[in-house]
Structure 1
Amino acid sequence: MAGAGVAIADESSSGSSGSGSLGSSGAAEVDPLTFDGWGTCPIEDLEVTTCASVVVRGGTMKLGALSVPIPDGSLKVAGGVKYATQPDNSFIETFVAKQDGSNGVYSNPISVPGGALGIDTPLGLTQISATVESVGVPDLKVLEQELTMPVRLKLSNPLLGDDCYIGSVSNPINLHLTTTGNPPSEPIGEFPGAVFPAVPHSDAVFAAPGASGCGPLGALNWAVNLRGGVPAASGKNSLTTSSDVYAVAARKVRPPA
């Protein structure tokens, strides 16, 4: 489902009911996203053999001229994984999102220091909220601890209107987060399965498209591009995160037949 939002309407109280964003200092306060069980795993699909959740615990995103601290609990990717065996006995992993309109990507507001002008104003008139919207189902490889996500950022401000984006369905920001080494796992506790705590992920090769649809007939695209330093080619952007990765065999979650 292209352009899916990242609100979590059906999460438990430990999740968020707000939409995901790279917002400003005036972004709405919401509870940090956290691991709250396997409710987002599509266990009704009997080919799903693993349930997985990736909860971002912190990091930094550099997008063109912007440098944005990523707080704990601002992003979660959750769903199920199918496996297929190849002739060489290798596995192909396919991520499956729950059919809730999220594409398996859930997010909370983050603050962008300086808002529209690069400085914080007393009344917050230049504050910008930028909602992370998935434009396709992520590719989560649990065995390799890799995550690929096509996203766009919806920028919101009274002057920008309701159709202002960096990235699009046809030209998204393609994030490919990888890690190194073999992260150790720990038991989850009251839930079956295990967690790989504080897994470091990074991507420094994605490109950031320019703005579109900002202001009447796109009249403010130039202002967004100037403030954000976009479009920004590969090598001028980066994302580093520390995440807890949860995994469990779906048979341990699926009710008995």
Structure 2
Amino acid sequence: MAFRGLFHRFRNRALAAAAAGAALVAVAAAPAAATTGQPSGPYTGMGTCPTASAPMQSPDNAIVGCVVATIGGGGFTVGSTKVNFTSPMTVTFGMYWSATGPTVTFPDGTTAALFSTAAPTDGKELTASPLDVPIPGLSNFWPGVTSAIVLIEPAGPVTAFAPLSAGENYPLFKLPIKLHLLNAFLGLNCYVGSNSSPIVLSPTAGTTSPPPPNQPITGDPGTIAIDNDPNGFGTSVIDFSGATMVDNALSVPGAHGCGLFDSADWIVNSLFGVPSAAGHNTITLTGVGSTIAVDPSISDLTNAINATRK
């Protein structure tokens, strides 16, 4: 699959103006000098993109890229427990695909690359503010005592990244997470989910296919725009904005590590209705915006980002 062919679907479906054409495969003639500041302009937030990592430096790569995504709101339902996201979350990582890499065929018959990912240099693929989750049956007047402070933490890397899945009935990515519950009576190691048994998010902007009793729900791909690098490099920048991602086919495991010698696991399970099988849970991510910088050349991508550092 040629690099230009990856964007064929965008043009055919009029999801954006004409793609960058020859600029998608052009390589800038002169490198840019790196500075120590943070990238700006279209590369804002990509300062931790792992362009120097071995996976992204591999000569086998046909395409490399950097991703920054922001989730503005939404929430999740686990059984009968509902929690709203009260502050934005950020997801960052690098991406790469070889000419013989995996592909996915969408329900409409089109085919696209399925990217591998590389963790950012600071190790923070997912950044989320703590959530104050009321304990069912209690009036929440003392955060951390009459509620649980919940930290959403990654339980593994992003996998199966399909950036061309916008509008398709197919997940954009798979992201394993775990919920870290902090409460005066639960100790410091109370979790729902773990690295070995995570909650796996598979959000889509299309329509889900959950097991019953959940029914299919549909997201929104928002809008897509493709721009050239502002300094003449061969990098193209794809902006997604205003998307809604949904997943109601996920399962949620039970609690572990709560209280002395796991003595409070059963309390957390009972109060929050976990473990909860697939078909009983839903996550909605609203106001999703993401920027993807892509290039056939890792040196060109690196120079393009560095040229905007201030």
TM-score (norm 1): 0.75
Structure 1 residue 118: Cα displacement: 3.7
The reply on whether 1:184 has 2:223 as its aligned counterpart is yes
Of the three residues 151, 155, 158, the one matched with 2:177 is 151
CA contact (8 A) 2:112 2:162 kept: no
CA contact (8 A) 1:60 1:69 kept: yes
Structure 1 residue 62: Cα displacement: 0.6
CA contact (8 A) 1:225 1:231 kept: yes
- The change in CA–CA distance for 1:208 and 1:86 in structure 2 (over 3 A counts) is same
RMSD: 2.9
Distance 2:142 2:244 in 1: 37
| Equivalent residue runs for 1:31-50 within 5 Å | 36-45=44-53, 46-47=57-58, 49-50=64-65
Equivalent AA in structure 2 for residue 42 of structure 1: P
CA contact (8 A) 2:136 2:272 kept: no
| Equivalent residue runs for 1:135-214 within 5 Å | 135-139=155-159, 140-145=161-166, 146-180=172-206, 183-186=222-225, 193-214=237-258
Report the counterpart of residue 293 of structure 2 in structure 1: 248
Query: Which structure would you say has the larger Rg?
Result: 2
Structure 1 residue 202: Cα displacement: 0.7
Of the three residues 107, 111, 118, the one matched with 1:96 is 118
Answer 1 or 2: which has greater helix percent: 2
Report the counterpart of residue 126 of structure 2 in structure 1: 105
The reply on whether 1:224 has 2:268 as its aligned counterpart is yes
CA contact (8 A) 1:150 1:175 kept: yes
Distance 2:146 2:227 in 1: 43
Query: Where does the alignment leave 5 or more consecutive residues of structure 2 unmatched?
Result: 1-37, 104-110, 167-171, 207-219, 231-235, 296-300
Report the counterpart of residue 15 of structure 1 in structure 2: none
TM-score (norm 2): 0.63
CA contact (8 A) 1:135 1:152 kept: yes
Equivalent AA in structure 1 for residue 255 of structure 2: A
Structure 1 residue 78: Cα displacement: 0.6
Distance 1:101 1:93 in 2: 19
- The change in CA–CA distance for 1:153 and 1:138 in structure 2 (over 3 A counts) is same
Structure 1 residue 235: Cα displacement: 0.5
Answer 1 or 2: which has greater strand percent: 1
Equivalent AA in structure 2 for residue 121 of structure 1: N
Q: Does 204-213 or 172-181 show the bigger shift?
A: 172-181
| Equivalent residue runs for 1:68-147 within 5 Å | 68-73=83-88, 75-86=89-100, 91-102=113-124, 104-112=125-133, 115-124=134-143, 125-139=145-159, 140-145=161-166, 146-147=172-173
Distance 1:189 1:109 in 2: 37
Distance 2:228 2:137 in 1: 44
Total equivalences in the alignment:
219
Equivalent AA in structure 2 for residue 253 of structure 1: I
CA contact (8 A) 1:65 1:227 kept: no
Distance 2:116 2:79 in 1: 31
CA contact (8 A) 2:87 2:129 kept: no
